[in-house]
Amino acid sequence: MKSKYIIIALLALSSLAFGASESVVWSDNLIDNILGYDKKGSLHLGQYFTILQSTYFKPLFLGVLFGVPAVFLLHYMVIGPMIFSHDRKKIYVFTLFHRVIHAIAGVSFILLIPTGLIMMFASTFGGGEFVRVCKEIHAISTLLFIVSIVPMFFMWLRWMFIHLDDIKWLMIVGGYLNKDKKPVPAGRFNAGQKTWYWLATLGGFIMIGTGAAMYFQDIRLDILASNHISQIDFLRASAIVHNALGLAVVALFFTHVYMAVFAIKGAIHSMIDGHKEEEEVEILHSSYYRELKEKGEV
């Protein structure tokens, strides 16, 4: 009984937001749409979107989809994984809260990325009901993404600011180009992880915003109107940004998974039981290890 009322209330709310108002795309704004294509003074976003979507995005995604794993396969075969001693002590690095949030984010990525790619390559899947379902899954898993990425942003924020170590780390590509167990300059998170963090959070927020804009189409933003940006140009920009960022997200997601599962043997356990091998910390997060040592925690 109660749930019925909740549903009715939600429906009423949603109709307030979307149904009652005239479409921002087609009502009087249709003129802006037309003028905004490639007429004088327009942003030419229509053209750019058409060119990008018709000729560049698909090959680029294909490149990332196969190129990144290929590079890693090469890395795995030529250099191979880092294997750290499992005999030394374990260091407790991730609390339960961290791990749960990370797990939710992980699930959302596992849902978002394939469904997103299926939409991008919809014709390969024949379009229709299957891809439509994927589109809805993509939308619904965004909710999971939101509930994980917001706490994640705050819980790790203080370790994520740029540090001198990061530059050094980047110069030696994190020490992944050889198998020497030389200490790598990095704090609790290395430059690679930081990049992934910023992409996943700030980039993630942008993905959420642009995705929602495209999904609902009619979200009315006064800030756009007051800056003379037509809804349709906003949507075009959203599509371009969403796809471009998507490329980066897919590439770094693959990297993240490769690192955790293959490149560093056993690294994935830290996100399951919260512990890292002491040697792993000593080598890969040497600055952090020094810190812990100074505090006498190891």
Partner 1 sequence: MSENARLKFYCDEHRCISCDGCSVACAEAHELPAGINRRKVITMNEGILGLEYSLSIACMHCTDAPCEQVCPTDCFYIREDGIVLHDKEKCIGCAYCLYACPFGAPQFPSDGAFGIKGVMDKCTMCAGGPEETNSHKEREMYGQNRISEGKVPVCAAMCSTKALLVGDSAEISDIYRERVLSVGHGVKTQPYGWSTAYGSKI
| Binding positions for partner 1, rule: CB under 8 A | 10-11, 14-15, 17-19, 23, 25-26, 28, 30-31, 33-34, 37-38, 45-46, 49-50, 53-54, 119-123, 126-128, 131-132, 135, 214-218, 232, 235-236, 239
CB of 205 to partner 1, least distance (A): 21
Q: How far is 295 from 54, CA to CA, in rounded Å?
A: 57
CB of 132 to partner 1, least distance (A): 5
Q: Which is nearer to partner 1, 21 or 178 (CB)?
A: 21
CB of 242 to partner 1, least distance (A): 11
SS3 122: coil
Report residue 122: phi and psi, to 5°.
-55, -35
Q: Which is nearer to partner 1, 132 or 182 (CB)?
A: 132
Q: Which is nearer to partner 1, 41 or 128 (CB)?
A: 128
The total number of residues shown for the chain amounts to: 298
Q: Which is nearer to partner 1, 45 or 259 (CB)?
A: 45
**Judging by DSSP bridges, how do beta strands 90-92 and 275-277 pair with one another?**
antiparallel
- For 92, the token pair is 């407790």
Exposed, middle or buried: residue 182 (CB in 10 Å: 0-12, 13-18, 19+)?
Answer: exposed
CB of 11 to partner 1, least distance (A): 5
Q: Which is nearer to partner 1, 86 or 132 (CB)?
A: 132
Closest CA to 27 of 226, 237, 225, 238: 225
CB 64 within 8 A of CB 120: no
SS3 230: coil
Report residue 160: phi and psi, to 5°.
-100, 0
Q: Which is nearer to partner 1, 170 or 212 (CB)?
A: 212
CB of 275 to partner 1, least distance (A): 43
Q: Which is nearer to partner 1, 11 or 157 (CB)?
A: 11
- Angle, vertex CA 260, rays to CA 147 and CA 145, nearest 5: 15
Q: How far is 130 from 114, CA to CA, in rounded Å?
A: 13
CB 38 within 8 A of CB 46: yes
CB of 133 to partner 1, least distance (A): 9
CB of 15 to partner 1, least distance (A): 8
Closest CA to 285 of 199, 194, 151: 194
